[in-house]
Structure formats: structure tokens, C-alpha cells
Copies of this chain bind each other. A is one copy, B any other.
Amino acid sequence: MKGDPVSFKVRIREWMHNHREEGTSLLQDMVRLPSTQGNEREVQLLIAGKLRGLGMDVEVWEPDGEALEAHPFFYSPRSRFIGSPNVVGIWRGSGGGRSIILNGHMDVVPEGDAGQWHDDPFSGKVADGKLFGRGATDMKGGIASLLLAVQAVRELGIRLKGDIIFQSVIEEESGGAGTLAAILKGYKADAALIPEPTNLRIFPKQQGSMWFRIEVKGRSAHGGTRYEGVSAIDMSMAVIAHIRELEETRNATVSDPLYASNPIPFPINIGVIKGGNWPSSVPDTVTLEGRFGVAPEEKLEQAKEEMIRWMERLKEKDPWFEEHPPAVEWFGARWVPGSVSLEHTFIRTLSEQYREVLLQEPVIEASPWGTDGGLLTLLAETPCIVFGPGVTEAAHYPNEYIKLDHVFEAAEIIALTLIEWCGLEGKGDGDGD
């Protein structure tokens, strides 16, 4: 740490300690508002108010669906965003420093089967040092870390040279239209940080992903003579087994050491199945929906082609597929993969603050999921690193939670990173010290 290193580190830690209750309460407030797709407004107004309270210039706007639809990287199951605003807050530096985008999505996936939750899925309950609720880890906990970091720097009277651009976006879970809308507004910076749940690991590479839909055909018949029909459910099992083989094939060749500890670097997930409409009939159609993981250096189009070619080989498994090839459609969400060089200064800066705060070496890995970072890196020319307090084992699960200690540790590391990266007013370039 340059400037007044010990002092900053100590003062920020002390600030976090004194704001433990306030920060927890802020996160509870966010989790208790169920901001699933289409229901983002209340959380966004809460965050906008918080940013204004920090003295930021705040912009709140509902993305223009028509304008977005014209963009090749737009993907969403919807094209109207009325009632679903984006929020950006800017804290302008005094000039001469490096700017940073702090980006977090506040949309959450649905809670799923409520019966599998021990409490209300949006309880915000605190127990054993954890805060529970849909979105706690993915990624309102990360947003809380960002807000705490900015607030700490601000309230400690630290003045930075570079701009801080805080983006609270919608639609990450459905393809990144919120971040895309912010990029199209012209927001860019010298680096970006997204505190998605990495369990405090640093992810310079991130998996991309795409949603697919497969329609598997059967031939209907009366269930009492089911042997006269062809069950689309049986056929969908063959399709799923075939897709498993593609997943194995694609992952067998991964040699990137950043994925060394990942059992399936680029999974193909079947998330939804639906078919048939009568218990006594042999079902004639089954629809599968899933997520296709794309490697950081892979192009989306390459991955699509590989999938399509693979599906054409289904007929080798069962002659039924020769005449009834399942139709593959790419729909809804896609996340562009991203990769920032391991030599990038921002990784070094973040890693140094990690060591300062946690007194150990950071783990640098590749992200097992897509984030909006791919869009920032590719379209906004803003190299994006993913680093946050949640854990993927909790994301999208029932009883999602986040460890509060991690929220405040991440906030400390991020606050110090802001100071180091953006530079102290009146000091030389932090990077050069």
C-alpha cells in the first residue's frame, strides 16, 4: 500500500467493524425484496437512494428494448423493460487516475420449490454468521461489498483521482441486457470488477454460456398399447445421454491450469423438461431447455456449430432420429466468455490488497459460469475481473446464503483496491510507486 498504507488498512478495517450492523441491515433490505425478472424496481430504487446518499451522480433508466434488440449481443426472453430500471452512480475523481467500473446484478433467479427452503426464500434471516435468502450469494452480497467499499472510502474522507462507476444492473441471469444497456450508454473504464460469488477467489477468465431448447419428437398412441407409439420421453432420454457424451468429449481436452480443480469445466446443464399432456397417452413431444458452457477462449458460434454437428450424430444411436431429428434452438440468454491476461496490472493490484487483508496468497482460477464480464471486456474494452464473497455451492440453490465475514472481507479488499487503482488525490500514480 502506498501513501499512508498502514493507516488506510487499519482505518478501513475499523470502519467495516463499526458498520457491521448497518451493512448487514442493508443486505437484508436487498434480499427481502424478491427481485426476480420483472420485479427489480424496488431494489433498484433502494440502491439508487444509497448511491445518492454517498454523494454520487445517479442515473436511473429503463433500457430501451427496441434499441437493444438491434444489437447483436442482445439476448433476453423479453424486449420490454418497463418497471425494470438500471442504476448507475458516478463518483468523479479529481483527474489523472485510473477509472474503475464496479458492476453487480441485482436480479435473482426464481426461488424454485419453496418446500426445500427452511425459511421464507426471501427471509434475509441471519444465523451462524450467515445471511439467508434468494440472491444473498448471487449476488446481493457482492453488491453490499461494493457499496460498503465505496462508503468506507468516502466516509474516511479519502479523495481519489480516477472515477468510480457503480453499475447495478438488471437481466444478468437472462443474458446481460442490463450491462449491455449500460455499455451502450457509453460507460467504460480502465478496469472492471464484478463481485459474483467466487468464494474470494480471483477469476480473470470466465466461462461463457448459451441457452438452448431442443424439441424431441415421438409418436402418440394410447397408453394401453404404448408399443404402437414412440415415447418422446424415452427419446428425450437418448438425447440427454447423447448430450452427456458431448459434455465429456468437450471437457476431456481441457488443459488450462486455471480449471485444474474443476470436475467439469464447461458443463452442459439440462434445466427444464416438459412433455406429454395426458397420463394415458404416449407423449409425442418433449421439450428440453438447458445451458451450454463455453470456454473463455471459445467463440459462441464455434460452440453452437459443435453442438449442432453432434446432434446430427444422434441418428447413429437410433434410426428414429434419422426421420425425426430433434430441433435445436438457441434462445433467451447468452453470456459472452471473457479472458483477461494473467499479467494485467489490475490482477496484480487486486492480489496485493488480498494479501494485505487476508495475509495469504489469493487463489486465481477460471469462472465456472458466465457473467456480464465478457460483455465489459469485449464490447466496452474494459478488462473485467470477477472477485466476490459468495459461493457457487449456494447460488441458485434452496437455502441460498452468504457468510457475512466474507462480505466485509471482500469490502475491505475492494476499498483498498479502489484507493490503489484510482490513486490518491495529490499523490503520484499508485501503480508506479
Contacts and interface: CB of A to CB of B under 8 A. Distances in A.
A35 B224 CA distance: 21
Nearest to A110: B277
Interface stretch (A17-25, A348-356, A388-396): A388-396
Given A263-B227, A264-B226, A283 B279 contact: no
* The 4 A-B residue pairs with the shortest CB-CB distance in the complex, in nearest-first order: A224-B369, A223-B269, A272-B276, A223-B291
Interface string A251-288: 00000000000011001011111111111111111100
B271 A274 contact: no
Interface in A278-333: 278-286, 289-291, 293, 332-333
Interface of A is mostly: mixed
Contacts of A38: none
A290 B279 contact: yes
A228 interface: yes
A212 B109 CA distance: 31
Contact of A277 (B112, B212, B225, B264): B112
A173 interface: yes
B279 A392 contact: no
The CB with the most chain B CB atoms within 10 A, among A116, A269, A278, is that of A269
19 contacts: A109-B278, A109-B280, A110-B278, A113-B285, A116-B220, A221-B395, A222-B368, A224-B367, A224-B392, A225-B392, A228-B393, A229-B397, A233-B240, A272-B283, A273-B274, A273-B286, A274-B274, A278-B396, A279-B332
A283 B271 contact: yes
Contact of A225 (B211, B289, B368): B368
Interface in A349-393: 367-370, 392-393
A221 B173 CA distance: 14
Interface of A: 109-110, 112-113, 116, 138, 173, 207, 209, 211-212, 219-229, 231, 233-234, 236-237, 240, 263-264, 267, 269-286, 289-291, 293, 332-333, 367-370, 392-393, 395-398
Contact of A221 (B233, B270, B282, B396): B396
Contacts of A273: 233, 236, 273-276, 283, 286
Contact of A226 (B220, B228, B267, B281): B267
A291 B233 CA distance: 14
Given A224-B207, A228-B392, A280 B276 contact: no
A173 B396 CA distance: 40
A251 to B, nearest CB: 11
B264 A272 contact: no
Contact of A278 (B226, B271, B282): B271
Contacts of A209: 223-224, 280
Contacts of A222: 138, 368-369, 392, 395-397
A272 B279 contact: yes
Contacts of A138: 222
A281 B224 contact: no
A291 B281 CA distance: 8
A398 B289 CA distance: 25
A392 B290 CA distance: 36
Contacts of A286: 273
Given A173-B280, A224-B368, A273-B276, 19 more contacts: A113-B285, A116-B219, A212-B279, A220-B396, A220-B398, A221-B397, A222-B395, A222-B397, A223-B267, A224-B267, A225-B368, A226-B264, A236-B273, A269-B280, A269-B282, A270-B283, A272-B278, A273-B274, A279-B289
A370 B224 CA distance: 8
A290 B283 CA distance: 10
Contacts of A275: 272-274
Contacts of A110: 277-278
Nearest to A393: B228
